[in-house]
Amino acid sequence: MTPSQKTLFTSEKICMDWQQKRRPGAGLYNLGSTCYLNVILQCLTYTAPLANYLLSRQHSRVCCQQGFCMMCVMEAHIRKALYSSATAIRPRAIIRDLKFIGEFKPDIPGDAYEFLRCAVSAMQTACLGECSESDIPSDETTIIHQIFGGLLRSRVTCLSCNTVFDFYKIFLDILLKIKGASSLNTALEDFVAPKEMNGRKCFRCSKCKKKVAASKKVTVHHEPRILTVCLGRADDQTSRKLSQVVEYPEYLDLRPYMSDPAGEPVLYSLYAVVVHSGHTCLGGHFFCYTKASNEQWYKMNDVSVDSCGIQAVLGQQAYLLFYARCSNSHMKDTAPCPSSHSFLSQGQASSQAGSAGPQARPGRMRVTNSQRRSSRERDRSRSPLWDNERRSWIMNTTDYNNSAQKRKRTRPAGHDNAHRDDTTPGASRRSFQRAPAHRAAWEPLPREKQQSRPSR
């Protein structure tokens, strides 16, 4: 007898609007090289349906997991961040359990997108752990999948017999290529445009009984409540950072990019933006903009939390975009109705985007294996060997003194009270010591150690 599937959370219980209106929460101290971690924690904290659920303590009341539970850790962090009277807090619980979330270390730069995917996956695993051995949980009924999960459809058409095949895949975020794209609209149009499958990527047609050329078109078949978009800023050929400004709207209509583009508008509202400043993918700094429950925007740069306007938000060199599903009635109250192929509130390019140089607390961006291989073959003498998954290369040659000094936050009119680091001129408040055990950022390991690395 096959055990019945257990529904872990019903979608009717999800509340997309904030249940409590509060001031913005605390900033986060950078404990080494954790700016990539701080921005994701802030964006998740201001994800209304997730925060509503965790603040209600529905999970912790019934959680019986032994040891690490990402949902319990996030519940404690969000409560502390939103209810603390301090201007900044230290996310020590997250740092302590980094090894359970992914292969991250607080003193080694990381990628914000990679940490987001690992954090969401850890929360999904924690939700599935609520079931007993006699129950088979349905992955798509967890609170995490109900919030972030959607469905992609890949329609493959055989160019030999014209047979159509449909394949479906669950997604929690969308990675877009932005090379040559001037806006999010353009990048999404390229994402859903039909692409030919030939050569090495030939399709094996079950009707033709052989590999044939085919056409593939990917569309959003079922939209998520929270749409997370990563603008891939690592060039496929050079692995260098793509620093062009990609315009993105405050309100987005996803309908033109869905399997049924002729239906009613599927409207989203922007509530968080992650920005990477720096000239390369392997260094720089992460900060973010979030919309709090009071409907006001704030720039969050580690310990600094400062109010800002929507035009400042829309003019950034964005890396991650967070959109929340909204109703048509809400759109009518907040903005004029957009057409199916237009976007609202296009911002001007910010003069701050990409202007920062080397950072004291760096955050690197996601680089694929193919990009790393092509970079090594092109110039072995100066191309870093970096592995996002294994982190076998030490990027930092300095040992930071983590005894953080408490900073008094002041907000004079017109002054950007940003956290001080190497991006601003002047002496740093931190003390730096050379770590003899660490290797230089551009120095490869000996060949015998390279061969001993586990294959991915």
Question: What is residue 278's predicted lDDT score, i.e. its pLDDT?
Answer: 86
The angle at the Cα of 281, spanning 363 to 145, to the nearest 5 degrees, equals 70
Q: How far apart are CA 136 and CA 158, in angstroms?
A: 37
Question: What is residue 210's predicted lDDT score, i.e. its pLDDT?
Answer: 87
Q: Which of 232, 314, 242, 213 is nearest to 272 (CA)?
A: 314
Strand partners, 385: none
Q: Is the pLDDT of residue 413 over 80?
A: no
The listed range with the strongest mean pLDDT (183-197, 398-412, 423-437) is 183-197
pLDDT tens digits for range 99-150: 999 888 888 888 999 999 999 999 999 988 755 544 555 778 889 999 999 9
Question: What is residue 32's predicted lDDT score, i.e. its pLDDT?
Answer: 84
Question: What is residue 90's predicted lDDT score, i.e. its pLDDT?
Answer: 94
Q: How far apart are CA 99 and CA 429, in angstroms?
A: 29
**Contacts (Cβ under 8 Å, ≥6 apart) of 126:** 59, 63, 65, 69, 70, 71, 72
pLDDT tens digits for range 337-389: 333 333 333 333 333 333 333 333 456 666 665 555 555 554 443 333 333 33
Q: Which of 165-169, 230-234, 438-442 has the lowest mean pLDDT?
A: 438-442
Helix (H, G, I), strand (E, B) or coil at 6: strand
Question: What is residue 236's predicted lDDT score, i.e. its pLDDT?
Answer: 75
Q: Which of 295, 322, 330 is nearest to 310 (CA)?
A: 295
The rounded Cα 252 to chain-centroid distance in angstroms is 18
Question: What is residue 367's predicted lDDT score, i.e. its pLDDT?
Answer: 61
Question: What is residue 25's predicted lDDT score, i.e. its pLDDT?
Answer: 93
Helix pair angle (112-128, 70-83), 10° resolution: 120
Question: What is residue 106's predicted lDDT score, i.e. its pLDDT?
Answer: 81
Question: What is residue 215's predicted lDDT score, i.e. its pLDDT?
Answer: 93
**Cβ-based burial of 244 (10 A; exposed 0-12, middle 13-18, buried ≥19):** middle
Q: Is the pLDDT of residue 430 over 70?
A: no
Question: What is residue 373's predicted lDDT score, i.e. its pLDDT?
Answer: 57
Whole-angstrom Cα Rg for the chain:
23
Q: How far apart are CA 304 and CA 420, in angstroms?
A: 10
Q: Is the pLDDT of residue 12 over 80?
A: no
Active-site residue identified among 35, 205, 281, 326: 35
Q: Where are the domains of the chain?
A: 151-218
Confidence of residue 417 (pLDDT cuts 50, 70, 90): very low
Tokens 């972030």 locate to 148
- Are the beta carbons of 169 and 155 closer than 8 angstroms? no
- Are the beta carbons of 416 and 308 closer than 8 angstroms? no
Q: For the chain, what is the mean pLDDT?
A: 75
**Contacts (Cβ under 8 Å, ≥6 apart) of 234:** 240, 241, 242, 281, 365, 366, 367, 368, 371
Q: Is the pLDDT of residue 72 over 80?
A: yes
Question: What is residue 366's predicted lDDT score, i.e. its pLDDT?
Answer: 66
Q: How far apart are CA 267 and CA 6, in angstroms?
A: 31
Q: How far apart are CA 38 and CA 36, in angstroms?
A: 6
3-state percent breakdown (helix, strand, coil) of the chain, nearest 5 = 25, 25, 50
Question: What is residue 325's predicted lDDT score, i.e. its pLDDT?
Answer: 95
Quick check: is 279 catalytic? no
Other residues' Cβ atoms within 10 Å of the Cβ of residue 121: 15
Confidence of residue 247 (pLDDT cuts 50, 70, 90): very high
pLDDT tens digits for range 201-218: 889 898 888 889 999 999
Tokens for 447, please give them. Answer: 């060949």
Residue 159 DSSP one-character state: T
Active-site residue identified among 145, 221, 285, 419: 285
pLDDT tens digits for range 166-198: 999 999 999 999 988 999 999 999 999 999 988
Q: Which of 238, 347, 251 is nearest to 282 (CA)?
A: 238
- Structure-model confidence comparison of residues 263 and 251, the more confident one: 251
Q: Which of 300, 295, 308, 310 is nearest to 347 (CA)?
A: 310
Q: How far apart are CA 169 and CA 167, in angstroms?
A: 7
Tokens 């933006």 locate to 273
Question: What is residue 369's predicted lDDT score, i.e. its pLDDT?
Answer: 59
Other residues' Cβ atoms within 10 Å of the Cβ of residue 446: 8
Quick check: is 118 catalytic? no
- Structure-model confidence comparison of residues 13 and 81, the more confident one: 81
Q: How far apart are CA 42 and CA 123, in angstroms?
A: 16
The listed range with the strongest mean pLDDT (11-20, 71-80, 231-240) is 71-80
Q: Is the pLDDT of residue 98 over 60?
A: yes
Confidence of residue 423 (pLDDT cuts 50, 70, 90): very low
Question: What is residue 173's predicted lDDT score, i.e. its pLDDT?
Answer: 95
- Structure-model confidence comparison of residues 394 and 336, the more confident one: 336
